[in-house]
């Protein structure tokens, strides 16, 4: 194996991951010595990764060791620590903290609707519905066009048995031009509950003309038609909900009822059996003492609210407070992946790459690990020049989704970069087998070239050209964004 | 809504001012038009001094919350409906000066009642949960059966104003369990009343689950305990009963049973059993006519509500609210669950008609308990009474409801829908307590159905019906000969012009209570009843022709003639 280009980076691989140097000690990443082909390979690989990331809809990208790495200042030491054990707290403490967040949001952002919305949610969760209503009304007066507080207000009105108030709030929103399947669902539910079943049906029929593939609204329409004794129509609507993937107990119960009444007892019995199966499933915490489930529910509420409040502060530019809130959420629930990801995003936005690395590392250590978290860790680790982490993260990604080309391509690219060309060729070939792409062929060509196998390199280039001809837009990919702010 | 608030905060001690304030508010706020229903709180002048005890003192025992019922029945056959209140016993950790006991109040016929508990010998000190009435020995005098936390109690009516406790000799003690709704019914049409006793859960002081909520201990839901199968006793005809729980099929399932009503749900002439379960699917025991039962609630559409929720059912009553000839059901439930109105489609199927009937959505946040169908204005359409109240100091953790809340009265519009008239029907519905069992009967023989409400840990509420629309009425008392003497399980069809109504004689209904042995029919402006058809339990239909209105008639099996 040609080790002529093996650099200091490669030597770091001998250390176990846990002992990998801290991002602080990361030496300035050497400038890549790759020739044009290798550079093209890398860029094409990056594009492939980005496209893959976009396809799955996550903010995951692959950053190559930057060309200007020598000019960069070394990264600072990570400043955050993440516990793996949930912090202890009594339900009283959790409740007090929830109230505290509401007060903080109201104090800091008393005129900001999204902040007030989170504050109101706190009180709704605590069944302090009058307080929640008061805050949501303030939200609505500040942002009359915002639908969320209106829907929330209507929801607590219904929970208080004040469905007419819910109807008024949602009807106003409708009259002002708001339109969404959710709005229609809530309004139809409220109309139905006060006995205005025909109105509910008409609303849903109109809604489903506009937003057809909404299973929940087909189910609600079917239930509404069932109440109106429109049995054939009800069956059609309920079956459409089933077709759209609704497998809820209430759908099966409605289908049971409509078929019984249509005299189709075999079908009714089939749906009844499906309903029985669903009702036989107990909640996961069914055998837990109340104190445990209650405390867990309170903790979940607080963690969610901390996450939402953190987002509000981040949006308002108070990153310090946002970080504190998210870190508190993680203290309470160290395995809350969404909040960990949000924190990582926030840290990357601030170019706190070592801290982001800590968070991403924590994410991939969750059980079970997530494929995209592995990709993200590889990205951040690349930025730090921590190729051990890169390699391990990509290998874990391969284990998790062996059919995906991306980790193979990433490793091919890594091995090219550190001069392990045989391994680079093997992984590039594996990437091509899984998903032929310009990037994969380019990596393969580069590896073959480095190994002196010109025929194979030419073959890979030809294949790349053929593919490029098929997908011309991929031929000249834009440069990949780096962690630098634009 | 704002109108309601000041009244809700008043206790019974300020009842008269409440009535005055309500009247004042009704005058000044035109949107609250006065209802045709006029219900007046007459507790103060009734002479009833009974104060209920739930037996707890903050320990959060589940058996503290599920008290208790009452019975309205004419124990001395003087033609006046008397009142029997259940009481709680001091639960572990509760100290009392005087041991609470159940109480029997004799109706004096002048709006007052006299406590005859001691003389009658019915002051059971057990933790009373449910009560029913039935003449199990067919001697012409109604007997009492009480389910307790602890052994149940059977009081045999001696016919001289006294009762004898015969639980042991009759063999109906039902072990040392947490009882629930109880009913007499004739399971096999043999002319004697058998006995159904629902059971709740396996609670003991040792397995008590307290729920700390701030400074309070709340009551755990029944799901923290093991549900118990219900019990069925067959009447041997000699004053004793045999436990046929297993052989009858009743023991094939177990659930946290609460309210019970026995009725013929599918019109086949056999009495079936409906049990509301607390936090579990309800049970409908279908009777094959021989006293063997199959649980069939899901097929009948009674196990769950419209959305498939297993509600925490509390009380249940039976009545044909839409006059289609099929008895419907109302079931009360826990907070954040609507009471559910099940409309009987005939042929054994029910639909959840809660929305279609426009039951007041304002009930949603509250725990609802005692309930019953009764035609309070005698317009020929049965209205609904629903008692409300929590068992925890819930207002500390949920501002939507409270331990004490107002009860609800829903007027039947006659088109299959109901209207909440609670705030517009007088001070009888302005009382704010934590109510449980409700009984609906004509206490003063004026042809109008009154109400008695047992309030947890408080005095009861006696509500006189002063509705006066000039409507006619007919009350029917059945006398079985080959059928059981009180004709429990009989179905009565009253035809008056275009108005046709159906009712059944029940033993045990609502929330752990008994009332309505004397059937009441409102006739609106119809001056004559064409006929009354009685389908007697055990078989046979008999018709009684051309009856005058505004009277109580006694229809004796086989005579064809009404006694006025």
Which member of A194, A248, A253 has the closest CB to residue B358? A194
Residue numbers in B near A248 (CB within 8 A): 308
Question: A234-256: per-residue pLDDT in tens?
Answer: 999 999 999 999 999 999 999 99
Number of CB pairs, chain A paired with chain B, less than 8 A apart: 88
Rounded Cα distance, B520 and B552, in Å: 9
Would you call B214 an interface residue with chain A, using a CB distance cutoff of 8 Å? yes
Residue numbers in B near A92 (CB within 8 A): 214
Alpha helices by DSSP H, B271-390: 297-300
Question: B333-366: per-residue pLDDT in tens?
Answer: 999 999 999 999 998 999 999 999 999 999 999 9
Q: How far is B350 from chain A (nearest CA, A)?
A: 9
Residue numbers in B near A157 (CB within 8 A): none
A73 band by pLDDT with thresholds 50, 70 and 90 = low
Would you call B355 an interface residue with chain A, using a CB distance cutoff of 8 Å? yes
Record: contact A290-B211, CB cut-off 8 A = yes
Please give the pLDDT value at position A33.
29
List chain B pLDDT tens, one digit each, 564 residues. 222 222 222 233 333 333 433 343 333 333 356 789 999 999 999 999 999 999 999 999 999 999 999 999 999 999 999 999 999 999 999 999 999 999 999 999 999 999 999 999 999 999 999 999 999 999 999 999 999 999 999 999 999 999 999 999 999 999 999 999 999 999 999 999 999 999 999 999 999 998 888 889 999 999 999 999 999 999 999 999 999 999 999 999 999 999 999 999 999 999 999 999 999 999 999 999 999 999 999 999 999 999 999 999 999 999 999 999 999 999 999 999 999 999 999 989 999 999 999 999 999 999 999 999 999 999 999 999 999 999 999 999 999 999 999 999 999 999 999 999 999 999 999 999 999 999 999 999 999 999 999 999 999 999 999 999 999 999 999 999 999 999 999 999 999 999 999 999 999 999 999 999 999 999 999 999 999 999 999 999 999 999 999 999 999 999 999 988
Please give the pLDDT value at position A380.
94
Residue numbers in B near A267 (CB within 8 A): none
Please give the pLDDT value at position A12.
31
Record: contact B308-A253, CB cut-off 8 A = yes
Kindly state the average pLDDT of the residues A425-431: 96
Closest among A22, A41, A7 to A448, alpha carbons compared? A41
Please give the pLDDT value at position B508.
98
Record: contact A195-B345, CB cut-off 8 A = no
Closest among A6, A1, A5, A9 to A385, alpha carbons compared? A9
Of A107-111, A476-480, A481-485, which one has max mean pLDDT?
A: A107-111
Please give the pLDDT value at position A279.
86
Please give the pLDDT value at position A473.
57
Record: contact B336-A159, CB cut-off 8 A = yes
Q: How far is A309 from chain B (nearest CA, A)?
A: 23
Longest Cα pair distance anywhere in chain B, in angstroms? 65
Record: contact A290-B209, CB cut-off 8 A = yes
In eight-state DSSP terms, residue B544 is: E
Would you call B356 an interface residue with chain A, using a CB distance cutoff of 8 Å? yes
Rounded Cα distance, A105 and A99, in Å: 10
Mean pLDDT across chain A, nearest whole number? 84
Mutation for testing the A interface, residue in B207, B218, B306 having most A CBs under 10 Å:
B306
- In the three-class reduction of DSSP (H, G, I as helix; E, B as strand; rest coil), residue B88 is classed as coil
Q: How far is A165 from chain B (nearest CA, A)?
A: 11
Which member of B209, B308, B400 has the closest CB to residue A159? B400
Mean pLDDT across chain B, nearest whole number? 93
Rounded Cα distance, A52 and A173, in Å: 39
Q: Could you write out the three-class secondary structure of chain A?
A: CCCCCCCHHHHHHHCCHHHCCCHHHCCCCCCCCCCHHHHHHHHHHHHHHHHHHHHHCCCCCCCCCCCCHHHCCCCCCCCCCCCCCCCCCCHHHHHHHHHHHHHHHHHHCCCCHHHHHHHHHHHHHCCCHHHHHHHHHHHHHHCCCCHHHHHHHHHHHHHCCCHHHHHHHHHHHHHCCCCCHHHHHHHHHHHHHCCCHHHHHHHHHHHHHHCCCCHHHHHHHHHHHHHCCCHHHHHHHHHHHHHCCCCCHHHHHHHHHHHHHCCCHHHHHHHHHHHHHHHHCCCCCCCCCHHHHHHHHHHHHHHHHHHHHHHHHHHCCCHHHHHHHHHHHHHHCCCCHHHHHHHHHHHHHCCCHHHHHHHHHHHHCCCCCCHHHHHHHHHHHHHHCCHHHHHHHHHHHHHHCCCCCHHHHHHHHHHHHHCCHHHHHHHHHHHHHHCCCHHHHHHHHHHHHHHCCHHHHHHHHHHHHHHHHHCHHHCCCCCCCCCCCC
Question: A300-335: per-residue pLDDT in tens?
Answer: 999 999 999 999 999 999 999 999 999 999 999 999
Question: A178-187: per-residue pLDDT in tens?
Answer: 999 999 999 9
Structure tokens at A230: 């429109």
Mutation for testing the A interface, residue in B213, B343, B355, B358 having most A CBs under 10 Å:
B355
A378 close to A62: Cβ distance less than 8 angstroms? yes
Record: contact B365-A161, CB cut-off 8 A = yes
Question: A116-171: per-residue pLDDT in tens?
Answer: 999 999 999 999 999 999 999 999 999 998 999 999 999 999 999 999 999 999 99
């Amino acid at each position: 194996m040609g080790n002529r280009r093996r650099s200091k980076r490669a030597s770091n691989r001998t250390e176990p991951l846990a002992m990998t140097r801290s991002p602080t000690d990361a030496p300035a990443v050497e400038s890549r010595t790759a020739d044009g082909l290798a550079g093209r390979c890398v860029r094409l690989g990056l594009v492939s990764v980005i496209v893959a990331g976009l396809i799955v809809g996550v903010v995951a990208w692959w950053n190559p060791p930057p060309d200007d790495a020598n000019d960069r200042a070394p990264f600072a030491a990570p400043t955050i620590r993440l516990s793996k054990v949930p912090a202890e707290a009594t339900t009283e403490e959790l409740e007090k903290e929830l109230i505290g967040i509401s007060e903080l949001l109201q104090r800091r952002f008393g005129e900001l609707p999204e902040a007030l919305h989170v504050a109101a949610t706190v009180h709704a969760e605590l069944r302090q519905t009058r307080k929640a209503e008061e805050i949501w009304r303030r939200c609505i007066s500040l942002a009359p066009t915002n639908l969320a507080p209106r829907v929330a207000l209507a929801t607590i009105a219904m929970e208080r048995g004040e469905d007419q108030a819910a109807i008024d709030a949602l009807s106003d929103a409708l009259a002002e031009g708001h339109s969404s399947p959710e709005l229609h669902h809530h309004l139809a539910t409220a109309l139905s509950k006060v006995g205005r079943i025909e109105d509910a049906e008409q609303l849903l029929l109109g809604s489903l003309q506009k937003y057809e593939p909404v299973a929940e609204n087909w189910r609600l329409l079917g239930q509404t038609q069932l109440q109106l004794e429109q049995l054939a129509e009800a069956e059609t609507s309920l079956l459409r909900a089933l077709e759209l993937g609704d497998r809820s107990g209430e759908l099966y119960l409605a289908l049971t009822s409509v078929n019984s009444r249509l005299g189709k007892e075999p079908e009714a019995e089939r749906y009844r059996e499906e309903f029985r199966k669903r009702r036989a499933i107990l909640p996961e915490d069914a055998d837990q003492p109340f104190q445990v489930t209650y405390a867990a529910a309170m903790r979940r509420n607080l963690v969610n609210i901390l996450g939402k409040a953190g987002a509000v502060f981040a949006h308002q530019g108070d990153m310090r407070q946002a970080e504190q809130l998210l870190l508190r959420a993680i203290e309470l629930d160290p395995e809350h992946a969404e909040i960990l990801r949000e924190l990582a995003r926030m840290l990357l936005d601030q170019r706190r790459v070592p801290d982001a690395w800590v968070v991403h590392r924590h994410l991939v250590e969750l059980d079970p690990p997530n494929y995209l978290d592995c990709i993200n860790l590889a990205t951040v680790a690349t930025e730090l020049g921590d190729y051990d982490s890169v390699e391990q993260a990509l290998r874990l990604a391969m284990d998790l989704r062996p059919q995906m080309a991306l980790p193979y391509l990433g490793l091919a690219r890594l091995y090219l970069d550190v001069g392990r060309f045989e391994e680079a060729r093997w992984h590039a070939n594996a990437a091509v087998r899984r998903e032929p792409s310009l990037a994969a062929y380019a990596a393969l060509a580069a590896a073959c070239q480095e190994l002196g196998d010109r025929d194979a390199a030419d073959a890979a280039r030809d294949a790349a050209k053929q593919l490029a001809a098929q997908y011309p837009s991929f031929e000249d990919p834009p440069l990949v964004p780096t962690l630098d702010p634009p | 809504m704002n109108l309601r608030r000041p009244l809700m905060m008043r206790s019974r001690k300020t009842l008269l001012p409440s009535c005055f304030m309500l009247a004042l508010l009704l005058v000044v706020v035109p949107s609250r038009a006065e209802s045709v229903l006029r219900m007046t709180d007459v507790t103060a002048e009734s002479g009833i001094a009974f104060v209920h005890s739930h037996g707890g003192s903050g320990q959060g025992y589940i058996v503290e919350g599920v008290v208790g019922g009452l019975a309205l029945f004419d124990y001395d056959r003087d033609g006046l409906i008397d009142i029997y209140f259940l009481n709680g016993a001091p639960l572990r950790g509760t100290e009392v000066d005087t041991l609470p006991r159940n109480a029997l109040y004799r109706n004096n016929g002048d709006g007052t009642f006299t406590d005859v508990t001691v003389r009658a010998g019915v002051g059971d000190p057990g933790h009373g949960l449910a009560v029913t009435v039935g003449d199990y020995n067919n001697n012409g005098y109604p007997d009492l059966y009480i389910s307790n936390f602890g052994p149940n109690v059977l009081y045999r009516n001696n016919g001289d104003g006294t009762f004898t406790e015969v639980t042991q000799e009759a063999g109906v003690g039902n072990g040392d369990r947490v009882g629930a709704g109880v009913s007499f019914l004739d399971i096999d049409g043999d002319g004697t009343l058998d006995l159904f006793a629902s059971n709740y859960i396996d609670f003991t002081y040792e397995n008590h689950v307290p729920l700390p909520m701030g400074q309070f201990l709340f009551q755990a839901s029944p799901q923290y305990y093991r549900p118990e199968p219900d019990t069925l006793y067959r009447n041997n005809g000699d004053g004793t009963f045999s436990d046929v729980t297993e052989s009858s099929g009743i023991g094939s399932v177990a659930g946290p049973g609460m309210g019970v009503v026995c009725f013929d749900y599918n019109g086949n002439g056999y009495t079936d059993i409906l049990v509301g379960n607390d936090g579990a699917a309800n049970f409908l025991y279908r009777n094959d006519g021989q006293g063997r039962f199959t649980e069939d609630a899901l097929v009948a559409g009674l196990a769950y509500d419209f959305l498939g929720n297993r509600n925490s059912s509390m009380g249940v009553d039976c009545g044909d609210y839409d006059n289609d000839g099929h008895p419907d059901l109302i079931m009360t439930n826990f907070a954040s669950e609507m009471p559910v109105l099940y409309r009987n489609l005939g042929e054994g199927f029910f639909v959840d008609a809660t929305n279609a009937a426009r039951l007041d959505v304002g009930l949603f946040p509250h725990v609802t308990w005692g309930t019953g169908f009764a035609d309070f204005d005698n317009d020929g359409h049965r209205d609904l009474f629903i008692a409300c109240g929590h068992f925890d100091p819930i207002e500390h953790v949920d501002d939507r409801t409270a331990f004490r809340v107002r009860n609800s009265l829903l007027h039947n519009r006659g088109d299959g829908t109901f209207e909440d008239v609670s705030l517009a029907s007088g001070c009888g519905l302005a009382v704010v307590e934590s109510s449980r069992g409700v009984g609906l009967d004509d206490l003063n023989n004026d042809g109008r159905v009154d109400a008695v409400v047992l309030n947890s840990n408080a005095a009861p509420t006696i509500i006189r019906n002063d509705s006066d629309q000039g409507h006619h009425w007919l009350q029917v008392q059945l006398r079985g000969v080959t059928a059981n003497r009180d004709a429990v399980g009989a179905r009565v069809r009253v035809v008056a012009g275009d108005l046709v109504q159906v009712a059944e004689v029940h033993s045990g209904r609502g929330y752990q209570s008994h009332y309505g042995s004397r059937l009441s029919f409102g006739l609106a402006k119809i001056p004559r009843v064409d006929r009354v058809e009685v389908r007697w339990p055990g078989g046979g239909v008999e018709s009684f022709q051309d009856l005058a209105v505004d009277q109580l008639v006694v229809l004796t099996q086989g005579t064809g003639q009404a006694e006025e």
